[in-house]
Copies of this chain bind each other. A is one copy, B any other.
Amino acid sequence: MTTATLPRAHTERPVTDLPARFDAVRAATRALAAPLSAEDALLQSMPDASPSKWHLAHTTWFFEQFILAELPGFSAFDPAYDFLFNSYYESVGPRHARPQRGVLSRPGLERVLEYRDSVEERMRGHFARGALPDELARRLELGLHHEQQHQELLLTDIKHAFSLNPLEPAYRARPQAAPASRNTGEREWCEGAQGSVRVGASAWPSAAVFAFDHESPPHLSQLAPHALARHPVDNAAYRDFVGEGAYANPLLWLSAGWDWICANDIARPIYWGEDLESEFTLQGRRALDPAAPVVHLNYFEADAFARWAGARLPTEIEWESAAAALAVAGNFADSGLLHPASSPVTNSAAAPLQMFGDVWEWTASAYLPYPGYRPLEGALGEYNGKFMCGQFVLRGGSCASPGSHLRASYRNFFMPADRWQFSGIRLARDL
């Protein structure tokens, strides 16, 4: 626990809106777990996914480990939790093996909720003092964004687990929704910026506005003439792709993608029914909406579809330069829909639609450091940088992301074979 130690001499700053945001984020996590039984909350359906209970505990441990443990009068809720609920911080110490998280029936869900109560109460005690050491205020900010990331993972992980249960349970009943409709006709294109563009966020905490370290520093990049599709690819188009035998045609796929298909006998998107008419959702199995964005594709599928369509995936720089001017608005987890929605027909804007929310959009960019990238100091420097190998960047957030968590410079990343996230496609092409 030494590497995260607070600097000797430090300044304090007022806690401003952090307490209120802390309450809101913590409550949102608990609300997401509310529909789950203790048994549901224990499910780990694959090594990449974690039990909901683990998400509840790990996000709590983050505050205990990186903030409370630095403050006077600290004693651990349970010293074993450092081992159980550390995710991947080598600096902090050894930890329970990730693929074995599903074996932790103890502590039970109730005990984990007590852990949450205890940490929240102690955090609020410190807030009441009115100020926090600068470094801890920063960690608090980071911890809130961290917890929001786990909110989305909680949803995608439980969706995957439920999908393996032959009963196909629904996480939550479907909210009443005025079904939007959309022409699924001709593809429309929006021309992007070209030449030298500036992307990336100013480095936090030097800058006041939060961004993860890997979004920085701002830097120039060159864009060639190009256009982005106005809409994400929808289910109707993707069904055409499947129907035309795409999953049997090696010429459409990256070599690694074709190997993935052959090794796993893949024939369609992960949650689609064999008849290509239904999909498993957080509301159980539902008819496929032709006009809604196709979702739960991996990079191989997104890339192959683009090739089949005579287009390509956008780079993350193209995406960000188009998104920078747009409001961060869309179908987020906050709507409670928890599934991509088709966009309205009557939108006259020339700008791309549904850039934020609905589906994470795979980019053609490998997840790598920006020029001049510096990880955070100490254990929190393990947050992002060490994963910069083999992954691709996704942009824009999804129907399972908290809206307040997103921004144009936000970089998400997954391995090319991963398809349990709410990930889809926006096409691009050269002009």
Contacts and interface: CB of A to CB of B under 8 A. Distances in A.
Interface of A: 37-43, 45, 80, 83-84, 88, 90-91, 96, 100, 102-109, 161, 164-167, 169, 196, 219-224, 250-251, 253-258, 299-300, 303, 315, 364-366, 368-369, 371-372, 382, 386-390, 416, 430
25 contacts: A38-B39, A39-B41, A42-B43, A42-B105, A43-B105, A80-B166, A84-B167, A88-B255, A90-B251, A103-B161, A106-B165, A106-B169, A224-B371, A253-B386, A254-B387, A254-B389, A255-B386, A255-B389, A256-B390, A300-B389, A303-B389, A366-B368, A371-B430, A390-B390, A390-B416
Contact of A250 (B38, B90, B251, B256): B90
Contact of A161 (B83, B105, B165): B105
Nearest to A88: B255
A80 B368 contact: no
Given A80-B166, A107-B167, A254-B387, 13 more contacts: A37-B38, A39-B105, A39-B109, A40-B105, A42-B43, A42-B105, A100-B164, A102-B102, A104-B165, A105-B165, A222-B222, A257-B389, A371-B430
A222 to B, nearest CB: 5
Contact of A430 (B315, B372, B386): B372
Contacts of A364: 368-369
Contacts of A169: 105-106
Contacts of A255: 88, 386-387, 389
B91 A251 contact: yes
Contacts of A368: 364-366
